[in-house]
């Protein structure tokens, strides 16, 4: 049985997971509404802690000022890429003329991006709390302390990368890495949450072979991650098309993506089949109120919402609300799959003596 301090960590950890998903939702809303450049600087917004609501509150030369600031930051980022052997990417950022185009002030987009940043700050607070309360496990599970501290560094890197996303005018590959780091943060949080909950419990034992479920579930998680990456690539392609069309003719954007969209759709079908197979394997092995079965039920509900939002995106000209839901539920699907894997991993097949 967990102590009070250990249970406190578990509660804070769970809240941090929920807040992380809300931050992903906020990021999806920012992306779908085109509000990523609502605040041209970082971490402040127009050099203010509380952003302006009218252009009259900004200096006359605000466009030139923030373009100059972005160019300086991008030069530092380009040098960082060169130090990693990515000279071609560094050169591409230096030559990207879109970075020199100033954004018009839009109060709605400014506040959407500002709320997104506030959500990120709240997440940072909860992650700091997980570190503080993780020391309840200093004698029983030091890995929880180490991983909680590691997540602070990951979030710090994520925040820095968020500033690069802004300064590079949403350079595509940077946005993809930003998304993948969000999955890393979720992975660490879910692992520490589950490990803390299961620490004083015996492994579950069932009568059926569990190895096939473990292996196929691991494969399904990998396919889901690939699908998320491909979906991000599709979204980036649509962003480029939207810019080239000056955000007109929205109903034609999906059709212009080409084979990449077809791959994304086909892989989505495969992801659905894999999850159905996992669900069938779980219900064959677990019954009643077993957590693996409950989690598998949540996975199927999440998958249905994800498929529905995908249809809305494909056939209703990319409505912004569907984009945000699609991003959120793709991450929720991954989270539930990973949690199910952790539960199944601690399950063994009964072997008579």
Class of 203-353 per CATH? mainly alpha
Find out whether 31 and 165 touch, Cβ atoms under 8 Å: no
> Per-residue confidence at 83, pLDDT binned at 50, 70, 90?
confident
Mean of pLDDT values over 182-197: 95
Nearest to residue 26, comparing CAs of 9, 12, 38, 10?
38
Dist. CA 118–CA 44, nearest whole Å: 11
Where exactly are the structural domains of the chain?
Answer: 1-201, 203-353
45: helix, coil or strand? strand
Q: Is the pLDDT of residue 345 over 90?
A: no
Mean of pLDDT values over 325-329: 90
Find out whether 96 and 168 touch, Cβ atoms under 8 Å: yes
> Per-residue confidence at 299, pLDDT binned at 50, 70, 90?
very high
Report pLDDT for 350.
Answer: 59
Report pLDDT for 169.
Answer: 59
Report pLDDT for 277.
Answer: 95
Nearest to residue 66, comparing CAs of 26, 89, 39, 96?
39
304: helix, coil or strand? helix
Q: Is the pLDDT of residue 257 over 90?
A: no
Dist. CA 350–CA 59, nearest whole Å: 72
The residues with which 30 forms a beta bridge, in sequence order, are none
Q: Is the pLDDT of residue 36 over 60?
A: yes
Helix pair 172-198, 4-33: axis angle to 10 deg: 160
Find out whether 271 and 222 touch, Cβ atoms under 8 Å: no
């Amino acid at each position: 049985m967990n102590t009070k301090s250990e249970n406190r960590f578990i509660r804070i950890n769970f809240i941090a997971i929920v807040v992380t998903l809300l931050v992903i939702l906020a990021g999806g809303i920012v992306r779908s509404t085109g509000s990523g450049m609502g605040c041209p600087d970082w971490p402040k917004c127009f050099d203010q802690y509380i952003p302006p609501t009218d252009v009259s509150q900004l200096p006359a030369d605000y466009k030139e000022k923030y373009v100059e600031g972005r160019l300086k930051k991008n030069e530092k980022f380009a040098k960082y890429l060169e130090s990693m052997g990515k000279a071609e990417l560094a050169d591409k950022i230096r030559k990207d003329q879109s970075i020199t185009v100033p954004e018009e002030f839009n109060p709605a987009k400014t506040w959407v991006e500002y709320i997104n940043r506030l959500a990120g700050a709240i997440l940072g607070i909860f992650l700091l709390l997980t570190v503080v309360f993780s020391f309840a496990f200093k004698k029983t599970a030091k890995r929880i302390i180490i991983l909680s501290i590691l997540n602070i560094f990951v979030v710090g890197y994520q925040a820095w990368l968020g500033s690069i996303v802004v300064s590079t005018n949403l350079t595509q590959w940077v946005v993809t890495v930003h998304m993948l780091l969000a999955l890393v943060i979720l992975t660490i949080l879910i692992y520490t949450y589950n490990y803390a909950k299961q620490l004083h419990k015996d492994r579950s034992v069932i009568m059926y072979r569990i190895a096939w479920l473990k292996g196929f579930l691991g494969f399904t998680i990998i396919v889901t991650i690939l699908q998320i990456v491909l979906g991000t690539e599709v979204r980036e392609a649509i962003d480029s098309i939207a810019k080239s069309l000056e955000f007109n003719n929205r109903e034609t954007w999906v059709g212009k993506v080409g084979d990449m969209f077809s791959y994304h759709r086909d892989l989505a079908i495969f992801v659905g089949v894999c999850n159905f197979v996992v669900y069938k394997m779980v219900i064959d092995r677990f019954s009643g109120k077993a957590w693996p079965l409950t989690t598998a039920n949540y996975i199927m509900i999440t998958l249905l919402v994800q498929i529905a939002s995908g249809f809305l995106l494909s056939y209703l000209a990319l409505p912004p609300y569907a984009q945000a839901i699609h991003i959120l539920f793709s991450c929720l699907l991954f989270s539930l799959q990973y949690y199910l894997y952790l539960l199944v991993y601690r399950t063994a097949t009964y072997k008579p003596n």
